[in-house]
Structure 1
Amino acid sequence: MQSAMTRQIENGFEARKITQINQEFLLGIFTYSQFKKWSKPTERLIVGYEEELVDQDEFFKDKPLIKPVYNSQIQRKTNNSKVENIADFLIRDNYSMFPTNIIVAVPAIVIDKIEEISNDSVSISLNEIVFQEIEKENGDVFLTIIDGQHRIKGIERAIQKLQDIIGLELDPLERKKYSDKLNKILELELVVSFFLDPPLEYQAMIFSTINKTQTKVPENLVYSLFGLTNLDSPQKTALEVVLALNGIEKSPFFGRVKLVGNSYKRGELIPLSQATMVKSILFLICRGQKEAELERWKKRTEMRDENQRLIFRDFYRTNEDKNITRVIFLYFSAVREVFLNEDGQSYWDLGSTDKINLLQTNVSYQAFMRLLVDIFISGHREEIFKKEFYLALLKKITVDFQDPENKYPFTSKTIKLLYEDMKSQIFID
């Protein structure tokens, strides 16, 4: 297969020369099927090479055998959980892709020839030993991956999973679906940067620079992007519920959520972030982030689960998204009414106390969302849509939200403590 930029050749590859400031490297585009002919993930770290003449092997007869020298103290372990996530991403997500470069070190000792093709392109011919060893289960990997091992391992794992699925008894349509996905992954195009004979210290510098300078995308922005798509998903539903609760004037959350893209005055108190609320709702539809990513491609009717603590799952599955908004609205309206200060003002309302109190924090919100699950499960369907149901149970709670003894500091540990205290007061054994 020939790319617009580069192409694979029988004993190597062609690549384009790239110069950035004072550094030069090569850039190529290859399918995974091409890439795996000369590189793959390895835990072993090569620190040097030895050459020795051998005559007992027909293939290497009268040729120097290149032997890597490994550092026995250092291993490049991969994170199995991360690999599985990448594999599932490739299999389940119709928009899966790897736009960032795989970075590969090419030692000079295995380069047989470098030819100039044009002013900006070269052809690299590799020693036969590169291809011979890559075919072996525990062979030497000469073209080592500096950055991108998890992505390549994820591709390998996805291929293995798909092959296992295809080996099962499937109806023809299912078999075709998984076979098509397998072929797409095998022909997945990878952007590859090659560094020729980089010293070990330089490889470490490249890896460190790439991984230290990458900025994690804020969750608030990630969840906001679901609002821009027409595709139905639990993430989109959770975001729409948050936007509705923040926008309804009579809602206890009116103007209380810090939304992405809105401008706020410096020092203005906005208790909850958009991401915090979206996740709290999303994880009552799906079992965690990984499941949420997989299930955004499912039809609603396919989302069955016996876990009763996913209290909003059935609402989502049966297209009753408004009931999610309704339950949260009624429940937190009851929270707002029950917990009052000495002047009869709700601790929930901003400005009801001289300084921010426990009920106005993210900590309290998350504890009350956990409590909602237990309250919801304890009620009948007709009860969960009545504010009186929540009022009767919440009035059993005796927490002082001004917290003069500082029993509940504003930390993540307090979420569990506050939740368990409130739950024990409502559901007395």
Structure 2
Amino acid sequence: MSNHKIEIKGFPVYQNGQDFIIGTAKIQDLLKYTMFTERLVVDFDDNGKPVYSETIQRHVETSRANQIADFLINDETATFPTNIVLGIPLSAIDSQVFDNNTVTISFKKEVIEGISKAKRGEDSYDIYVTIIDGQHRIRGIELALERLSKNPDNVGTDGISYNEKLNRLLNMDIVISCFMDKSLEYQAMIFSTINRTQKRVSQDLVYSLFGLTENDSPYKTALEVCLALNGHPKSPFYNRIKLYGNDYDGTFIPPLSQSTMIKRIVSFISVSSKEAENDRFRKRKELKGYSGTKKLPFREFYATDDDSSISDCLFYYFSSIQHYFSSLWKYDTKSKPTNVLQSTVGFEALMKILKDILSIDNNIKFEKNAFDKYVNKFADLQLHDTNQFPMTTRGKKILYYSIFIKVFPDDASIEKKKRELESLHNAD
């Protein structure tokens, strides 16, 4: 561990097209970036902060956790030979560097601060690093440390003081496996596979625990589209989405997160985040014939197994953006976006405009130059001006209203949008 950063150092492992990291961590270091919690992370918001399930919690058996604590306190040869499996979102990582056969990951300060707040008993805190498997062991370790810390002067039956046992436990090495930015479905699969080899675990329990289904889902489709757009050399999003597998150390960080893109694509399929969770359990064809008022332009594509239309739509729409704003769209390897088009808020506003376009133009064909007639209408906007178009939540609204007014000047809501835009500018 470095003096100023909390790090994980390990070896990349590749199995059947999947990758993860195997390493070790001292218990005192491990508990600086993760801890047992009953809260289940189901998503990450636009700022990379965890979003928790309102209905699903991960419980441990208190008796089992206490047995593990007893084992650690009373057995001087206590060991944990099996891995603790962690899920690490990219939003938690400050840097990751590959060097020969090793990779070093450093955590952002908010990851460490979240654990510190939880330990201080504060009401508001976030835990970014998820314990996919090993929550009973982690909870047992936490209980053992609590008991040893409260009674440091006690001496065990083996003649070793609790203070010495405490120091030994804090410095014990734990084997860890780290899965970087994997989908919730994949995490559920890992949990299921690991526990199936130890004792029979009901699949109902696995999917209730994670709030997931092993069947097809809008999230899986969104992830596949995201990966395709990031990996195609001619895509406007080529190497522009923050995915696991490349070095980034502050000198180059892709400007758009995988979770942001997935969340937006899903919002074009499902009515709400809550319904998106329910859609995990539905067959595609059950999403056909949507009659609600909310704009869901990708829903019919998903319901009819036409995922290619989703990727084509995004490819050609953002290709038009890239063409008309080529100098602004280009990302020059700086660690922070320099204009609104490179930022998350810019992507959000452009996706909102896309939803409007698709809702009005039902006959548009997803092909080269298909969106030029719309993008050309707002090509004169001075999007390089961060004072006029700040990279903030307010800036997202300003960008959206500015584009909407240009693209849909005859819309019934245009006067209202002009007033809202003026109000946003006056709020500066």
| TM-score class, shorter | 0.3 to 0.5
Q: Which has the larger radius of gyration?
A: 1
Given the two structures, how large is their TM-score scaled by the length of structure 1? 0.48
